Amino acid sequence: MLVSGLLGNRRSRGVIGGAIALALTASLSAAQAPATGLPAAPARKTLEVPYTQLTLANGLRVILHEDHTVPLVTVNVWYHVGSAREKPGRTGFAHLFEHLMFEGSAHVKEGAFDSLLEAAGGTNNGSTSLDRTNYYVDIPSNALELALFLESDRMGYLLDTMTPERVNGQRDVVKNERRQNYENAPYGMASIEIDTMLYPGGHPYRWPTIGHMEDLTAASHEDVVDFFKRYYQPANASLVIAGDIDPVRTRALVEQWFADVKPGAAAVPPIDYPHPMLTEVKRKTIQDRVQLPRLYLAWLTPAHLEPGDAELDVVSQILAGGKNSRLYKRLVYELQIAQDVSAFQASSRLGSQYQIVVTSRPPEGGATSQSLIDRLRTIVDEEIAKLQKSPPDQRELDRAINQIEASFYNRMEQVGGFAGVGDQLNSYYFATGDPDYFNEDLSRYRAVSATDIQAAIAHWLPAGRRVELVVEPAKVGK
């Protein structure tokens, strides 16, 4: 009913008209049972997320996943463009478009995108990264067609209403967002400094996803239109529809609403970029309006899904994944010289970075910020060196992998949102061409051994090739 009353001018485009499986695979069959008469090893659970896939004539890749657990559906669109597709001097376009895509299109008035979905009981959001921009709509399954109408209209008809005034309005919004999250946020400029130190000039990961302020100011309406035409084309996007759907009917609706979106003029070429390399320790100290000193250590590490990527995720759990982790236990509990500590592998398509971040406790007994930072750095290096010399014991390794596996299954419990099954199907398609890469992904972690951890730390986290950034409290009067 809601859809029928709201499509209006889009009527000319046509008449309106599962579940995740855990399959058991035995590692040993009955015929392969050991001669001792002991029972066969327990079967390993293998993930399977069934889907169907089609490609429209305009190049749009469509992935359908049926799951009738709850009467909800997610419509998840990935545009295969992030800030890495920008050029020096013209940064921030990908994130700017994340905002512009919610501002109305030829058949959707400004402000109506959110109001129509809210009236139907739906929610939506978008995000921009180095490598992609994604949008999702989570909606009751009886309102699926409304979501398809809205998504197809902004894919095919956004430029019809994207005036210079609208661009200028969202440009100002993005500038304020940058001020709030970077210039005016505690430790906000640290990530920008680290990226500048890690990556050479011209590398597409050197600038922040939100862009540089001067580039946002300089961007013309023509620049923005050209970016949309080049990258927001059907052949550079993938659409996942997952949840309480009838695949046959859903396919017909997709073809109805997306088939008339015009294809792009040219295929998007691979990114050409200078490859980064660290041959020394790069150090820098900046001041900020903060109360506590903070130490950042960063390394260049393997790209998403490449050898070493999963091992470094496990390393993060061993070093800083909870109160029993090595760094947390020693710095926060035993020595009580740190407020908190984190470690993470920031996986990306063109290469990743690994960071360890330690926030100091307030200096006491005449200690200076620098002496505290030096002590924190020394202890972090000691713990890394221990893992380089001796692998973790099996219990510690199992705990780390179990934490990762639990998080993996928690994400799969929801179909929508940024981390649900719909978004994961799109993520795997983007990374591998196989939407159902769930089992292969989880198997990477299950296969990690203690010696793999030792080798990964020795290779990827050398003390002599990294970035060290210190953020210290600004001196009085500054």
DSSP per residue over 350-413, as a string?
Answer: T-EEEEEEEEEPPP-TT--HHHHHHHHHHHHHHHHHHHHHSPPPHHHHHHHHHHHHHHHHHHHT
* Overall domain count for the chain: 2
Residue written as tokens 């990530």?
191
pLDDT reported for residue 129: 97
> Is 212 contained in some domain?
yes
> Is 31 contained in some domain?
no
pLDDT reported for residue 367: 78
- Number of H helices and E strands in the chain, helices first, is 16, 13
Write the CA distances from 408 to 45, 352, 384, 412, 421, integer angstroms. 14, 20, 26, 7, 11
Phi then psi for residue 264, to 5 deg, are -75, 160
Does one domain contain both 344 and 250? no
pLDDT reported for residue 1: 34
Does one domain contain both 206 and 309? no
> Is 266 contained in some domain?
no
Does one domain contain both 295 and 248? no
> Is 345 contained in some domain?
yes
pLDDT reported for residue 219: 87
End position of a domain, from candidates 258, 291, 309: 258
Copy the structure tokens of residue 357. Answer: 């971040």
Answer for the pair 287, 250: CB distance below 8 angstroms, yes or no: no
End position of a domain, from candidates 209, 226, 258: 258
> Is 38 contained in some domain?
no
> Is 350 contained in some domain?
yes
Does one domain contain both 430 and 287? yes
Copy the structure tokens of residue 6. Answer: 């709201």
What dihedral angle (degrees, nearest 10) is formed by the CA atoms of 26, 27, 28, 34? -140
Does one domain contain both 329 and 422? yes
Does one domain contain both 286 and 431? yes
- Over the Cα atoms of the chain, what is R_g? 25
pLDDT tens, residue by residue, 321-340: 999 999 999 999 999 999 99
Answer for the pair 159, 239: CB distance below 8 angstroms, yes or no: no
Give the C-alpha separation, 392 to 46, whole Å: 27
Whether pTM > 0.85 for this model: the answer is: yes
pLDDT reported for residue 368: 85
Does one domain contain both 119 and 241? yes
What sign has the CA pseudo-torsion 148, 266, 306, 327? negative
Copy the structure tokens of residue 174. Answer: 């993005």
> Is 164 contained in some domain?
yes
Query: pLDDT (tens digit, 0 to 9) for every residue of the chain, 478 residues total?
Result: 344 344 544 434 433 334 444 443 333 333 334 444 555 555 555 789 999 999 999 999 999 999 999 999 999 999 999 999 999 999 999 999 899 999 999 999 999 999 999 999 999 999 999 999 999 999 999 999 999 999 999 999 999 999 999 999 999 999 999 999 999 999 999 999 999 999 999 999 999 999 999 999 998 899 999 999 999 999 999 999 999 999 999 999 999 999 999 999 899 999 999 999 999 999 999 999 999 999 999 999 999 999 999 999 999 999 999 999 999 999 999 999 999 999 999 999 999 999 999 999 998 877 788 999 999 999 999 999 999 999 999 999 999 999 999 999 999 999 999 999 999 999 999 999 999 999 999 999 999 999 999 999 999 999 999 999 999 999 875 5
> Is 34 contained in some domain?
no
What is the CB neighbour count within 10 angstroms for residue 267?
10
Does one domain contain both 288 and 427? yes
Write the CA distances from 471 to 185, 186, 364, integer angstroms. 13, 10, 18
Does one domain contain both 14 and 130? yes
Answer for the pair 78, 253: CB distance below 8 angstroms, yes or no: no
Does one domain contain both 204 and 291? no
Q: Could you tell me which of 355, 364, 298 has the C-alpha nearest to residue 337? A: 364
Between strands 352-360 and 237-243, the pairing is unpaired
Q: Is 301 helix (H, G, I), strand (E, B) or coil?
A: strand
Range of the domain at 211: 2-23+44-258
Could you tell me the CATH number of the domain that includes residue 235? 3.30.830.10
Does one domain contain both 209 and 311? no
Does one domain contain both 83 and 204? yes
Q: Is 472 helix (H, G, I), strand (E, B) or coil?
A: strand
